[in-house]
Amino acid sequence: MTAPTKTKAAPLAELKGDLAVLKEKFGDAVQPAEYEGVVIANDVLLEAARFIRDELGYRYLSSVTAVDYIQEGYFEVVYHAYRLEGGGPLVFKARTPRDVATVPSLVSVWPGADFQEREAWDLMGIRFAGHPNLKRILLWEGFYGHPLRKDWKEPYYEEEHKPFSSRWPSGHHIRAEDRVFWHDNVQYPLDWDPDQAEDTSDELLYIGMGQFARAETGELVEPRSLRTERLVVNMGPQHPSTHGVFRMVVTLDGETIVRLEPVMGYLHRNHEKIGERNMYLQNMPYTDRLDYICSMSNNLGYAIAVEKLLGIRPPERAEYLRVIMAEFTRIVNHLWAIGFLLNDLGAFFTPALYAIEERELILDLFEEASGSRMMCNYMRFGGVAHDVSDDWIARAKELVYNRLPRAIEELDRYLTHNELIKARCQGVGVLPPDLAVAYSTAGPVLRASGIPYDVRRAEPYSIYDRFDFDVAVRYNGDVYDRYLIRIDEMWQSLRILRQALDQIPKGEIQAGKKQYMIRVPAGQAYGRVENPKGELGFYIVSDGSPNPYRYHIRAPSFINLTALNEMCKGHKVADVVVILGSIDIVLGEVDR
């Protein structure tokens, strides 16, 4: 390790708690890291990971991500593992020199690391030795370079950090197209031959699926009179039921699914690269566009992560407003999710219309508070952007006490005991609890599998520790339970909302002055919140400048998809659509 430079402080002096146990067990292979956690040597990483999971009890791997410390010349892979009983994370890291860029894969210990490691390979160019399927995931096979490396420049690159001098303060702006060589958002390597231009990105995928099928039939050599042939079928990215531009490639045996591979990245909008050029506050509106149904709670997650670094808390009224907005968002999301689950079941649009009707009423409240229906951009570091009137509170109460309970009850009455729904949903897409944990699923998917894990309880943030509510949990882990749990959670959200709306005090809504450009002390923070879709985490590395050095989003929809293959195996094609609907993904968050 080279001497610490600007981006790094001195390592922690001593290790406490489980980190000390880890150090004792592995000796010099475990070294304290800067700010938080330990660095584990690559040769014992697998063993240490097993120890962490089995002996120390951190069974839930929440986030895997990588940071490019270009000045020090190494990549760092950061893991955050949690105990299911609750409490803080165990942070451990692995390092690899930039020119080697290989660390052992942890997929064998936590299958939930699968997509996250692929993402790190795709965007950062770190190889994970032993990964069963190390392909690009968000970009296409054949893309030139690994965009999140600090020395990789996008075609429209202007400067390292905003505000760009070309736009401010003199104020005029030259169009990006006019500034760049190609007059477009593209760049090509010098040694590339345009005459060979051919799209091979899909071929690889199909060949992969086909080979697998053949290999499998190879194993099943049994002289039978009736031979079935395997078929590779593509669904998406333009498909009416994939909730956006999501694509699945399935290998079929007859009509039964043998293997399913999600293909994503059709909405990869480069949140992280743009986020690292932005100033902290400029990222706030971008978080709206992650999971665009739940913009308010995305704001909350980001605000909490940065506040951790800043070491500030918002005033009381702002905390209440945050909780109120976040819980309203949960109801919005679950209504939407249930409406569209029914859509996927074939009840074309009618249930969705009912769900959207209630959603509109909540959006009206959001609009009044923040100025926008969908992209609220409402939270600030240490507060919220605007206060709400007493009239607003009164109308919110009217919704919470009268209108919404009626609507949820109505949904419940028409759907829950509906024979058709039961027939299509019960026993379909089952995810057993141990797999749900192993695949790092979160939110309703995890809780419907019988694991009562909710960040609001496990590691309370904001003021959730003051409210009286239950963590909804169901035990069958099928589509039906994932539907029921959303109904349960809406009831719990209403409970929280009632308490919050009754208790909300008067007062300030912003700690300190409103600031455009904040300076965040150097450090690393992982802030997570229980979003309607699951645990949303923001991993932020600050080097003390006005821009984040690393800005990573742990998106629940993305990681929940890791388990999709497991849920779909053995079911029919028609069920895939329903299973996907029950996971409730939003592509803005899957692809980021």
Partner 1 sequence: MDELRDLNTMPVPSELRNNVFVTTIDRFVSYLYNWGRKRSVWPMMFGLACCAIEMICAAASRFDIARFGSELMRPSPRQADLMIVSGTVTKKMVPQIVRLYNQMPEPKYVISMGACATGGGPFKEGYNVVSGIDKFIPVDVYVPGCPPRPEALLHGLLKLYEKIERQSVRAVPWYQRGESEAIPVPILGPDLIDPRRLPEIRARLAELRARQGASTETSS
Minimum CB distance to partner 1 smaller for 75 or for 266? 266
Minimum CB distance to partner 1 smaller for 269 or for 466? 269
- Rounded CA gap, 359 and 383, in Å? 25
Output the smallest distance, CB 400 to partner 1, in A.
Answer: 20
Q: Which residues contact 569 (CB under 8 A, 6 or more apart)?
A: 257, 258, 259, 260
Q: What does each C-alpha distance from 516 to 280, 386, 511, 551 come to in angstroms?
A: 9, 15, 14, 19
Minimum CB distance to partner 1 smaller for 142 or for 570? 142
Output the smallest distance, CB 114 to partner 1, in A.
Answer: 20
Minimum CB distance to partner 1 smaller for 153 or for 495? 153
Chain-centre distance for alpha carbon 330: 16
Minimum CB distance to partner 1 smaller for 96 or for 295? 295
Minimum CB distance to partner 1 smaller for 31 or for 282? 282
Residue labelled with tokens 């304290």: 32
Output the smallest distance, CB 97 to partner 1, in A.
Answer: 25
Q: How far apart are the first and last CA of the chain?
A: 33
Minimum CB distance to partner 1 smaller for 225 or for 516? 516
Minimum CB distance to partner 1 smaller for 164 or for 475? 164
- Joined together, the tokens standing for residue 445 give 């998917």
Task: Pick the closest to residue 258 from 223, 240, 235, 231 (CA basis).
Answer: 231
- Rounded CA gap, 362 and 358, in Å? 7
Output the smallest distance, CB 334 to partner 1, in A.
Answer: 15
Helix, strand, coil % in the chain, rounded to nearest 5? 40, 15, 40
Output the smallest distance, CB 203 to partner 1, in A.
Answer: 11
Output the smallest distance, CB 73 to partner 1, in A.
Answer: 24
Q: What does each C-alpha distance from 273 to 95, 247, 523 come to in angstroms?
A: 21, 24, 19
C-beta atoms surrounding 588 within 10 Å: 21
Residue labelled with tokens 């950062």: 124
- Rounded CA gap, 462 and 530, in Å? 11
Chain positions contacting partner 1, by CB under 8 A: 138-140, 142-144, 147, 154-156, 158, 176-177, 181-182, 184-190, 192, 194-195, 197-199, 201, 237-240, 244-245, 265-270, 273-274, 277, 285-286, 289, 292-293, 352-353, 356-357, 360, 373-375, 587-588
- Rounded CA gap, 197 and 211, in Å? 25
- Rounded CA gap, 282 and 273, in Å? 13
Output the smallest distance, CB 190 to partner 1, in A.
Answer: 6
Task: Pick the closest to residue 511 from 322, 284, 286 (CA basis).
Answer: 322
Minimum CB distance to partner 1 smaller for 482 or for 592? 592
Output the smallest distance, CB 278 to partner 1, in A.
Answer: 10
Output the smallest distance, CB 188 to partner 1, in A.
Answer: 6
